[in-house]
Amino acid sequence: MTAERVFAPTPTAYRWRWLALTALLLGEAMNLLDATIVQVAAPAIHADLGGSVSDIQWFTTAYTLPFAVLLITGGRLGDIAGRKRLFVIGVTGFMITSAACAVAPSVGLLIAFRVVQGAAAAVIIPQTIGLIKTMFAGPEMSKALGSIGPVMGLAAVCGPVLGGVLTHADLFGSSWRAAFLVNVPVSLAVLAISPKLMENRAPKRPTLDLTGTLLAMAGIGLVVYPLIGADLSALSGWSWAAIVTGLCLMVVFAVHQRSVAAGGRSPLVEPSLFAHRGFPAALVTSTAFFAVTNGLMMVIVLQLQLGLGTDVLKAGLTLAPWSVGLAVASWVAGAYLVKRYGHRMMTLGLAVLLAGELAAIAVYHVADPDRYPTALLFALGVVGLGVGLFSPAFFTIALKPLQPQEIGSAAGLLNAVQQLGATLGVAVLGSVYLGSARSGDAGSALHAVQLAFWVAVVLVLVSFVTSRLMVDRNAPEEAGAGH
């Protein structure tokens, strides 16, 4: 029985369909909100629980790392066991671990709960598009899928501000714990609506590549772990050994994926994707770009709260121009500009992002170490515009040359690499900042944030070069490149 036959007969069923869509969108938004809320609240968590200052980076990376490496496996589990079932399991796990994070008495337990929370998010997110396609068809499906972007934009705007407001409000003495507790009522609302979702699974069940998952987890973990809280200019022999071992495991992972595909089983990553010249370039571009966006957000929060001593509310509001610029530019680019200008929007977005970074460096260069840099708000607004202009064009161009049967695997891999980029950005840019800033010294903190922004400039230039490789120069120019 198709989705249309289930939902079309009555107006009541039609309303339930859109209510079920609301549950899916809330599930998506909740995961994005959680990452940005915790970034803003992280210094307050450190001040309360103590521990090493590098733990501030772990509060984010402990979430994004399992999210990245388990995202494709989470989608595969939905294909096998049912997307509705996995969505409900993921939301339930996310709610329980959010509550556990809120009551965590120590840094170690909080980081452990964040790992499980990231794994739960990796189960939730891959189910959304498949469930939407089950409930809608034709123009309605386009409308339903099109609602994901604005909801994510709204979540991006609200995340940093909400993190600052919740932590600063200190409701019932909860302080930073409210940043996790907010997930509980949202999860309950999603679970209350979830019975209206239709169950759906792949018509041909794929196999589960556990060996590939373990290789990816071990390889990426060994690369990221030594970078967090380290002096990147003087990594120890152990750190280099771990990184080299991790890279070797990633090579073994690639060989294993080809072997799995050749044996007729389902690899985590379809080897055919790499037959398209532009797709590997897209993966590198995504890693560098999202390392910039997530890493800089962390660095700005650290400098404001640890270096300048501002409160968490002011730190959250400082990121508001970035979020608003991102949301507005993303909507305009996705709705109008990408269709008309195609891949040129990637170049424009990176140019605007670079201009915003250079403006921020200039602001920090002339800023008083002991005073809040008001001009930074303008620079961060420009950064947000650049991010918003680039993102819709990037995903459009990255998926454009692929065959229909490759789109699902490619989208999952791009999302996973996006989370990996976020993890590396927090690890690398956070370590650049923390390695140069001395606790309690506003002058060194100001120098450190400039250094982190210069590293981000280099990453944007890398994104510019690799994004050019994504474009097929032999393909006919299209006025409306938005596929």
Is pLDDT at 261 greater than 90 in this prediction? no
User: What pLDDT digit, counting tens, does each position of 81-93 carry?
Assistant: 888 999 999 999 9
Residue 76: band (very low, low, confident or very high) from pLDDT cuts 50, 70, 90:
confident
The pTM of the whole model exceeds 0.95: no
- What is the pLDDT, as a whole number, of residue 481? 40
Residue 389: band (very low, low, confident or very high) from pLDDT cuts 50, 70, 90:
very high
- What is the pLDDT, as a whole number, of residue 400? 79
User: What pLDDT digit, counting tens, does each position of 313-360 carry?
Assistant: 898 899 999 988 988 888 888 888 888 888 899 999 999 999 999 999
Share of the chain above pLDDT 90, in %: 37
User: What pLDDT digit, counting tens, does each position of 117-154 carry?
Assistant: 999 999 998 888 788 888 877 777 777 777 777 777 77
User: What pLDDT digit, counting tens, does each position of 215-232 carry?
Assistant: 989 999 999 988 887 777
What is the average pLDDT value for the chain, to the nearest integer?
85
Is pLDDT at 2 greater than 80 in this prediction? no
- What is the pLDDT, as a whole number, of residue 349? 95
Please state the rounded mean pLDDT for residues 300-321: 89
Please state the rounded mean pLDDT for residues 433-456: 85
- What is the pLDDT, as a whole number, of residue 86? 92
**Total residue length of the chain:** 483
Is pLDDT at 440 greater than 70 in this prediction? no
- What is the pLDDT, as a whole number, of residue 11? 53
- What is the pLDDT, as a whole number, of residue 454? 96
d(CA 437, CA 306): 9
